[in-house]
Structure 1
Amino acid sequence: MSDEHKHEFPCEQCGAQLRYAPGQRRLTCQYCGHEQDIPFTDEERETALETHDLREALANHLPPSAIEETRVLSCTNCGAQVEFDPAQHAAECPFCGSPVVTDTGTHRHIKPAAVLPFKLSEREAHDAMKRWLGRLWFAPSKLKDYARSDGSRLSGLYVPYWAFDSKTRSRYTGERGDAYYETRTVVRNGKTETERVRKIRWTRVSGRVSRDFTDVLIMAAQSLPRKYVRALEPWMLDDLAPYNPKFLSGFRAEGYTVQLPEGHDLAIERMNEVIRQDVRRDIGGDEQRIHSIDTDHTDERFKHLLLPIWMAAYRYRDKSYRFVVNGQTGKVQGERPWSVWKIAGAMLVVVAAIAAYVYFAEMR
């Protein structure tokens, strides 16, 4: 971060740095136990959750109050951008474990409007990850040992998201398939039998569907596999709080690397998935064929959010594996290595069991 964005919250009693306490709305001092509330009113929350007009943002017409400059660390291995203390010149990337050097430049970007504060502590997230890893079949023993180790640290990260709103009206053409059955006669093993054959009667259809989308979430970073992070959903956005750097104290915040236009394209893809389901329901029948969908988007708006993730990076055979925990719900996703020896051992057991079965069957 640039100097003017350096946020420090010294303890009023001992001078140590206060840290945000997950699951609470306060900062705490881990040395003397002093606490300091992070107050905000319902009106402040409503103001923070107000959205920006998408078209104005794409035309670079956002008000200056929506823009900020920060200094970030850039990882040359995985592309993550993470905000660090300006006095820190080197660190390890929390996403892939690679050594990185802080960027000396500043980045101008859209300021977060709201933050979803951490609800789970590191211990609770570690327990959730331990349970998840313990259920993995054929995982290397070292991975299980890592899960059981109290020394395996998790990094608390606020990950950037775009949240898009849109009112959609869609026109479609297609075909409705209604099932019917015909009886036919067949000969099997010299015997004449009858059977019912399912067929589809297709009818051309057209129509309109509409849906208002709110808070379609798109991760605005490329440092984590999108499929794993999407699997952490749902997020309970009713717990969003106005953006306040106090919620970030003791954690790191990743800067967005997926720009607004690209994020909007990804949101349209997610909306199209839902619209296709709406069209199928509207067509009805037993089967549907969709020929075309033409969608109009109006009143498109967005906001920039920070959502909480606990993350661990584990290296096995010179490859990085990452595990992510939803810092609000405890849901876990991640990459996993496979133990060749355990798989080979399981195959040997199966082969031995089959051989034993055949042997005893022949002895009868």
Structure 2
Amino acid sequence: MVIHYKCPNCGDDMGFDSDSGMLTCQSCGREDHIEEFAEDLNTAVLTDDEAKEYHCENCGAMLITEAETAATTCSFCGAGVVLQERLSGALAPAKVIPFTISKEEAMQAFKKWCRNGRLTPKGFMTADRIKGITGMYVPFWLYDLNTKAKVEAIATKVRTYTSGDYEYTETKYFDVYRDIDLSYLKVPVDASEKMDDKIMDKLEPYPYDQLKDFKTPYLAGYIAEKYNFDDKELYPRVEAKIQKFIDTYISSTITGYSSVSYNHKHINTKKVRSNYVLLPVWMVYYDYDKAEHTFAMNGQTGKVVGKPPISVSRVAAWFGGIAGTSFVTLKLISIAMGGGLW
């Protein structure tokens, strides 16, 4: 089933407006509160994982979508459509964080980000080669986790002192035990096969206080994908993601010692719950120096991530400036300490 939102007043297309947070008609200005829409996405029939054809209810054109596509735009009339069966049953998201940054705002924010690149080529900084910008809801799993850790370690305190003509070193040993209970809420892991995991991780954090109950009108006018990996398949990744935080926390509980040697660490992490959510991302495609560069922007905070091209001459000048500053600093220190001119 294709869901296409038409304005009851004038019959034109309606789409989600990031400024007002409502379903809006650009022709007559009608606005509808999305929270008032009644939907049942749990009883619809699921589709298979194949490309499929749909008819646009606006112009009658044939839409051919990939298996992961859950919302898209008609290539012929530009109408935003939602493919309901790909958001139904087990594929129905629990929550969504809507876009608050419009396409125009995203464009301006990206240009500003380009201009702030100290080591990027001047041609890149002009930001005049943007090939395209696409608003996309990316599938994520949010995990609530509980970790219990039992730690055994040997710690030392070393004291050095002088008595008479001799210098002594005193080392005291301590048995250290820790029984730790940690809880993590809403740890995100992207569930899209197409998205670069490292880029998606760097887009964090998202304002989770802005999570809304999922309604399909939030997707109108944007692209959305269903997940490729379920919460069980991604669980090893979320465990690995929090491991460094667990290690840091354990270390923070054992302080004031000269050294710490761990004899035993037993860490047991369990999933309390997981929720399938859609998070807003602006994908920016930029042509520069005969290559396409891809960047991602958090659709709520405006944070931009990606690898811009680097100017060799600017890097050289930057390091040269650092070297020059270091030279002057060392020379002043030498003079202050009675040293001669270099």
TM-score (norm 2): 0.73
Shift of 1:200: 7.0
Q: 1:176 maps to what in 2?
A: 155
Query: Which runs of no fewer than 5 residues in structure 2 stay unpaired?
Result: 53-65, 77-84, 329-341
For residues 341 and 272 of structure 1, do their structure 2 counterparts lie closer, same or farther at Cα, with a shift above 3 Å needed?
Answer: closer
Q: Map of 1:179-198 to 2, 5 A cutoff?
A: 179-182=158-161
Matched, 1:123 2:115: no
Q: Map of 1:145-294 to 2, 5 A cutoff?
A: 145=126, 147-148=127-128, 153-182=132-161, 201-286=172-257, 287-294=259-266
Seq. identity, %: 25
Length, aligned pairs only: 301
Q: What letter is aligned with 2:274?
A: F
Q: 2:63 maps to what in 1?
A: none
| Alpha-carbon separation, structure 1, partners of 2:233 and 2:303 | 27
Structure 2 residue matching 1:283: 3-state secondary structure: coil
For residues 110 and 199 of structure 1, do their structure 2 counterparts lie closer, same or farther at Cα, with a shift above 3 Å needed?
Answer: farther
Q: Is the 8 A contact 2:71 2:219 kept in 1?
A: no
Q: 1:330 maps to what in 2?
A: 302
Q: Is the 8 A contact 1:67 1:109 kept in 2?
A: no
| Alpha-carbon separation, structure 2, partners of 1:276 and 1:12 | 57
Q: Is the 8 A contact 1:158 1:254 kept in 2?
A: yes
Query: Which runs of no fewer than 5 residues in structure 1 stay unpaired?
Result: 49-63, 90-104, 187-193, 358-363
Q: What letter is aligned with 1:156?
A: G
Q: Is the 8 A contact 1:164 1:214 kept in 2?
A: yes
| Alpha-carbon separation, structure 2, partners of 1:13 and 1:172 | 66
Q: 2:55 maps to what in 1?
A: none
Q: What letter is aligned with 2:239?
A: I
| Alpha-carbon separation, structure 2, partners of 1:348 and 1:267 | 38
Shift of 1:278: 2.4
Q: 1:100 maps to what in 2?
A: none
For residues 182 and 220 of structure 1, do their structure 2 counterparts lie closer, same or farther at Cα, with a shift above 3 Å needed?
Answer: farther
For residues 18 and 284 of structure 1, do their structure 2 counterparts lie closer, same or farther at Cα, with a shift above 3 Å needed?
Answer: same
Q: 1:14 maps to what in 2?
A: 10
Q: 1:111 maps to what in 2?
A: 92
Deviation string 1:295-340 (CA, Å, 9 cap, x unpaired) is 3345621010101111201233444322211111112211111234
Q: 1:37 maps to what in 2?
A: 33
For residues 8 and 182 of structure 1, do their structure 2 counterparts lie closer, same or farther at Cα, with a shift above 3 Å needed?
Answer: farther
Deviation string 1:103-126 (CA, Å, 9 cap, x unpaired) is xx9899532111001111122222
| Alpha-carbon separation, structure 2, partners of 1:31 and 1:12 | 12
| Alpha-carbon separation, structure 2, partners of 1:325 and 1:209 | 37
| Alpha-carbon separation, structure 2, partners of 1:128 and 1:197 | 62
Structure 1 residue matching 2:296: 3-state secondary structure: strand
Structure 2 residue matching 1:129: 3-state secondary structure: helix
Matched, 1:83 2:64: no
Structure 2 residue matching 1:39: 3-state secondary structure: helix
Structure 1 residue matching 2:35: 3-state secondary structure: coil
Q: Is the 8 A contact 2:86 2:226 kept in 1?
A: no
For residues 234 and 106 of structure 1, do their structure 2 counterparts lie closer, same or farther at Cα, with a shift above 3 Å needed?
Answer: closer
